[in-house]
Amino acid sequence: MSKENTPTPHIGAKYGEIAETVIMAGDPLRAKFMAEKYLENPVCFNEVRGMLGFTGTYNGKRVSMMGHGMGMPSIGLYTYELYHFYGVKTIIRVGSAGSIHKDLHIGDLVLAQGACTDSNYADQYNLDGMFAPIGDFDLLRKAAEFCEQKDFNYKVGNVVSSDLFYRENPNTKGWMNMGVLAVEMEIAALYMNAARSGNKALGILTVSDHILTGEVTTSEQRQKTFTNMMEVALSLI
């Protein structure tokens, strides 16, 4: 950790302005929505590139909320700086995902135990084989227990973090055959950054569309109505 590296070129906060636990969303407006809805006395610590970030308190505990953008390069950049330069210990991603499971529909939750990927993000580590990015078990267990208490419809398992939204030759069936629950674009990089820095991370997703049935939601719904996953994330603070 290097305090003198703050602010960074991408995050305008000074060291100490970001809490040790950060809840992140791809859409910075979702981060703003969460901060205004759940935090007491939220203070904006970042507006650089429109990637809004806020710090406040929730039930007396200090927490930050911030956008991370779309794709593994974007979340990889922000979470690297948070872990390495700002002393962040835990990052929880709340985001949307496309279901590829017959029993997961619009509004259902996915707790990402692991994250497959078609990205070469792990190449930087010079490993002799394939790395399996996984979430923090303690956070995962607590999240599942909270879902049970609230009677949320959820599943725990693998997701696939894809580099491509518009794929020339999609192979959804291949991932389905391996028991993968949903497709998203960031969690694998988050889990790798957490592992490399010795910190914690968990991805909590809401099904926003179903790749098999064609079910979809609007951008406004994704921004403002997926509150169950936000409550799960806040239960982990």
- Residues with pLDDT less than 50, the chain: none
Query: 59: number of CA atoms within 13 Å, CB side?
Result: 5
Q: What pLDDT is stored for residue 211 in this prediction? A: 82
Tell me what pLDDT residue 2 has. Answer: 58
The pLDDT assigned to 1 comes to: 54
**Does the pTM of the predicted model rise above 0.85?**
yes
Rounded Cα distance between 194 and 218, Å, is 31
CATH topology of domain 3-235: Rossmann fold (3.40.50)
> By the 8 A CB rule, do 214 and 98 touch?
no
The amino acid present at 45, given as its one-letter code, is F
List Cα–Cα distances, 200 to 89, 160, 177, in angstroms: 6, 19, 29
Which residues are known catalytic residues?
209
Give me the residue spans of the domains in the chain. 3-235
Cα angle 224, 230, 234; round to 5: 145
Q: What pLDDT score does 226 carry?
A: 87
Instruction: Report in angstroms the alpha-carbon separations of 189 from 27, 35, 195.
Output: 17, 24, 10
Query: What number of other Cβ atoms are within 10 A of residue 140's Cβ?
Result: 20
Q: Using CA atoms, how far apart are residues 123 and 38, in angstroms rounded to an integer?
A: 38
On whether the CB atoms of residues 208 and 217 are closer than 8 A, the answer is yes
pLDDT for 214: 84
- Residue that is written with structure tokens 């029993």 in the block: 103
pLDDT at 199: 98
